[in-house]
């Protein structure tokens, strides 16, 4: 069987049988396609041609190209899951990925912005033209809700409730409701009433945010947008769209939100993933204590 077909079958299995979220499916697809392109570049196009050496060569390629340990670990996890699926479906008789070892990951706290840095970033789109009105709405909504970038750029009009100020995110077979504040609402209304209708290429388009060609925004397009406004704001941190998600969660916990609520809004399946924001807050409290207490 061709590698491409086996990968497509696996993603279909995740969607139809495992009922995984769209984001999970796209993550597996991106990682496995990266592997497929590497292998095809070396003349390996069929699953039966893959062996332990070719998989180890691929992991070595990722390491030599300085991919982060977390990225390499995720790729290995995707390959292992794919092989489990192929064994189950009797596409193969031997698991070549069984001996792959994930690199050790030093868990560092995520990069977050201070509230002042967030304010500076959100003020950068001037709002003088349709594009900057859109940009302001996207940045405000991302920080107000902590949703994933994919959830932001694929959001449809039907997922917005501007009366009750919340969005409905569809995460696999689960839905989660996330509130947002008045500033995000004002930015959204401004975009929907004054920009979207002149930017969208098809008036029956369901997607909320469109690019300058009137088509849905891409991840790369939004990534560049964030980098542009961060530089304009003079923020020295190497921020990405995910930095706003981290900042959303860290600021909620810092201001007293309970972890369970933050977990639900972020869509984490395991609260241990959300715990990192509480740990960050504890570290900050220790620093404040050490600095301020006479015997600190």
Model pLDDT, residue 188: 95
β-sheet bridge partners, residue 2: 46
For residue 37, pLDDT beyond 80: yes
Task: Show the domains of the chain with their CATH numbers.
Answer: 3-88 (1.10.150), 115-289 (1.10.443.10)
Confidence of residue 204 (pLDDT cuts 50, 70, 90): confident
- Between 208 and 108, whose confidence is greater? 208
Q: What does pLDDT average to over the chain?
A: 89
Residue 51 has pLDDT above 70, yes or no: yes
pLDDT tens per residue, range 217-269: 888 999 999 999 999 999 989 899 999 999 999 999 888 888 898 888 998 87
- Quickly state the pLDDT bin for 69 (edges 50, 70, 90): confident
User: Does the pLDDT at position 124 exceed 50?
Assistant: yes
Q: How does pLDDT run across 155-176, given as a tens digit for each residue?
A: 999 999 999 999 998 776 678 8
**Mean pLDDT of the region 104-129:** 86
Confidence of residue 283 (pLDDT cuts 50, 70, 90): low
- The average pLDDT across 94-104 equals 86
| Residue 285 confidence (pLDDT) above 60 | no
Percent of the chain past pLDDT 90, that is, above it, reads 62
What average pLDDT does this structure show over 94-100?
90
Tell me which of 268 and 87 has the higher pLDDT: 87
Predicted structure pTM score: 0.64
Higher pLDDT, 148 or 106: 148
């Amino acid at each position: 069987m061709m590698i491409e077909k086996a990968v497509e079958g696996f993603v279909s299995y995740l969607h139809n049988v495992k009922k995984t979220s769209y984001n999970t499916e796209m993550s597996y697809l991106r990682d496995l396609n990266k592997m497929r392109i590497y292998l095809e570049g070396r003349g390996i196009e069929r699953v039966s041609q893959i062996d332990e050496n070719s998989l180890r060569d691929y992991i070595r390629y990722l390491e030599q190209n300085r991919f982060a340990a977390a990225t390499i670990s995720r790729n290995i996890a995707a390959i292992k899951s794919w092989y489990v699926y192929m064994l189950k479906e009797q596409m193969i008789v031997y698991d070549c990925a069984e001996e792959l070892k994930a690199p050790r990951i030093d868990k560092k706290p995520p990069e977050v912005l201070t509230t002042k840095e967030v304010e500076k970033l959100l003020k950068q789109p001037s709002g003088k033209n349709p594009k900057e009105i859109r940009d302001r709405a996207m940045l405000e909504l991302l920080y107000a809700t902590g949703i994933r970038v994919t959830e932001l750029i694929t959001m449809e009009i039907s997922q917005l409730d501007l009366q009750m100020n919340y969005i409905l995110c569809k995460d696999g077979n689960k839905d989660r409701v996330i509130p947002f504040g008045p500033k995000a609402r004002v930015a959204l209304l401004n975009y929907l009433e004054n920009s979207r209708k002149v930017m969208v290429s098809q008036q029956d388009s369901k997607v909320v945010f469109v690019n300058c060609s009137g088509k849905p925004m891409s991840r790369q397009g939004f990534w560049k947008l964030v980098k542009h406004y961060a530089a304009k704001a003079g923020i020295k941190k190497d921020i990405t769209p995910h930095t706003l998600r981290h900042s959303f969660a860290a600021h909620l916990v810092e201001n007293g939100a309970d972890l369970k609520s933050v977990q639900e809004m972020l869509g984490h399946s395991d609260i241990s993933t959300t715990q990192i924001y509480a740990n960050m807050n504890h570290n900050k409290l220790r620093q404040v204590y050490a600095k301020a207490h006479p015997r600190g």
